[in-house]
Amino acid sequence: MGPPAAIEVTSETDTSGVTIPNPLTAPIKSNEIYGRRKRAPKSQWAVAAPADSLNFRHSKYEHRPKSKRWDHYITSEAMIRKGNSLKKAAKYLGRPGIISLGGGLPSSEYFPFEELSLKVPAVGHFSEAETRETGVVITAGKHDLAQDKSTFDIATAFNYGQGTGAAQLLRWITEHTELVHSPPYQDWRCTMSIGSTSALDMALRMLSRPGDMILSEEYTFSAAVETAAPLGVRVAGIPLDAEGLLPDAMDNILSTWDPHVRMARKPHVLYTVPTGQNPTGATQSAQRRKDIYRVCQKHDIYIIEDEPYYFLQMQPYTGPNSPDVPAPASHTEFLQSLVPSLLSMDTDGRVMRLDSFSKVLAPGSRIGWVTASEQIVTTYQKHADVSTQGPAGMSQLILFKLLEDHWGHSGYLDWLIHIRMQYTKRRDVILAACEKYLPRDIVSWKPPMAGMFHWLRFDFRKHPDYPGKSIETIEEEIFLRIIDHGALLMRGSWFYANAEDEHDTLFLRATYAAAPEEKIDEGIRRLGEAVREEFRLGKSDVNGSGKV
């Protein structure tokens, strides 16, 4: 298979309204990613060879600032972790002709796998139906590397690897990161994770000690709270609106922080999901991100930017009766339509960005990656080497065959545009259903701009049992009533950043990601029924079924 078509991105044609801070002065140009790759010794593709994303960056970074050091935040646990010392013996393996009786790596002779094949979509023919018709079969052999057929193969990928993941896939990931974010400081690096939940666990062990509080949106990803709690780390919630967490509120919380009242020292870590936040669906605008970054600089806050939904940014919502906005006409237009990441404005190196393939390829790869300054990435890698290890080599080989050998960067951007249009369609389906079935005086919402979640606000004051019953009790009754009507939504209280805080809002979270479109419509119809019954309203005029 020849090199994939070059990507069309150029920096000269930026016509978007968004000014991306610290634009590349020597950006990745069209036609250049594959041609401009540094030639590297073949030894970097070998079994368990060390991988360094530094080798895979294209632009020059010498004129950019160096990142700040984070010694004052890094825990002693992380500071003293040496990584796996046996891997240091690998440095002697470069000697010509050396025979290794050193590392306890099994011989690939005993991997019972001769060939791995995948049927995957051809670029531009991405639907399931098209893939069945016109899908392409891509194959990895056992010894492709030794036979010079590919840089990656079963013998290599299925053996042990480094905590970074294999250089073969790390190169692609680094290039993709540079293309999309172009971090504005010198010493940024990438390393793979086994998924962002694990990455958060490892980040907290690197940056927090028991008794600490970290900052997050006041409704936040519950697994993050549940990952932090056993480490003795609590979450201080920051109020948010449809554009995500409020910088002034954050500034105020930090400026007035009283350790005696909070029973924790002043926080130094912000955990945020800037795009399509879970559960609220809120997406921070470019200006909002700048303001948040500025508050973080003011209080020296380290930022964990968790961005699983970054490429689930959708087309603008035009309402039920207006024509759709056409798909991005080029890769340039697509990339410029994306809200700039915190990483892309991170002149200090104070952002650890968590990316994941879970929402855009498949969660079952358990492959994500971390982008941060060299100090942070090195610390992370050492931890991976003595705990998680890198992602499964089987998954790495599968993604490599798809992303590097088949689609290339260009085909992947096409795929991301496809996903964008699919989620736009789904989002529009749920919004149309909500317009149709839900009583607007009880339930209100903002159209989500990104992600998987539609966040429905309920006016609990209109509930017949209010104020006799608490918000949480009313929430539970609504939740169970909806189940009785045959639909499942998630309770907003499950996402409290801090369950001990007072809350005077009642939300339910619906997702439009999972169910087929006609089921989404029917699910929301059932929701409408349940809400009318629970709030003792009359039956809906629309599709009123006998079942109430």
Site for its own copies in 128-157 (CB under 8 A): 128, 131-132, 135, 137, 142, 157
Nearer to its own copies, 460 or 479 (CB): 479
Q: Among residues 77, 241, 324, 441, which is the contact residue for its own copies, using CB under 8 A? A: 77
The number of beta carbons lying within 10 Å of the beta carbon of residue 358 is: 18
Half-sphere exposure of 183 (CA within 13 A, CB side): 29
Tell me: does residue 547 bind its own copies (CB under 8 A).
no
Tell me: does residue 121 bind its own copies (CB under 8 A).
yes
Segment contacting its own copies by CB under 8 A, of 49-57, 91-99, 145-153, 341-349: 91-99
Contact present, 292 and 250 (Cβ < 8 Å):
yes
**Which pairs count as long-range contacts for 67-71, CB under 8 Å and 24+ apart, including other chains?**
67/185, 67/186, 67/187, 67/188, 67/348, 67/349, 67/350, 67/373, 67/374, 67/375, 68/348, 68/349, 68/350, 68/373, 69/375, 70/207, 70/302, 70/373, 70/375, 70/376
Q: Among residues 398, 431, 449, 497, which is the contact residue for its own copies, using CB under 8 A? A: 398
Instruction: Enumerate residues 6-65 that contact its own copies by CB under 8 A.
Output: none
Tell me: does residue 359 bind its own copies (CB under 8 A).
yes
Binding mask 287-316 for its own copies (x = CB under 8 A): ------------------------------
Sequence-ordered list of residues with C-beta below 8 angstroms from that of 465, at least 6 positions apart, any chain: 473, 474, 477
Tell me: does residue 232 bind its own copies (CB under 8 A).
yes
To the nearest whole angstrom, how small is the minimum distance from the Cβ of residue 539 to its own copies? 20
Instruction: Enumerate residues 191-210 that contact its own copies by CB under 8 A.
Output: 194-195, 197-198, 201
Contact present, 451 and 309 (Cβ < 8 Å):
yes
Segment contacting its own copies by CB under 8 A, of 189-197, 234-242, 282-290, 314-322: 189-197
Nearer to its own copies, 231 or 537 (CB): 231
Contact present, 355 and 177 (Cβ < 8 Å):
yes
Q: Is 299 helix (H, G, I), strand (E, B) or coil?
A: coil
Contact present, 402 and 118 (Cβ < 8 Å):
yes
The span from the CA of 369 to the CA of 50, in Å, is 16
Tell me: does residue 475 bind its own copies (CB under 8 A).
no
Tell me: does residue 510 bind its own copies (CB under 8 A).
yes
Instruction: Enumerate residues 424-443 that contact its own copies by CB under 8 A.
Output: 430
Instruction: Enumerate residues 450-469 that contact its own copies by CB under 8 A.
Output: 452-453
Q: Is 431 helix (H, G, I), strand (E, B) or coil?
A: helix
Size of the site for its own copies (CB under 8 A): 117
Tell me: does residue 366 bind its own copies (CB under 8 A).
yes
Q: Among residues 1, 26, 89, 548, which is the contact residue for its own copies, using CB under 8 A? A: 89
To the nearest whole angstrom, how small is the minimum distance from the Cβ of residue 510 to its own copies? 4
Nearer to its own copies, 156 or 341 (CB): 156
Half-sphere exposure of 389 (CA within 13 A, CB side): 11
Using alpha carbons, select from 1, 3, 4, 2 the residue that is nearest to residue 413. Answer: 4
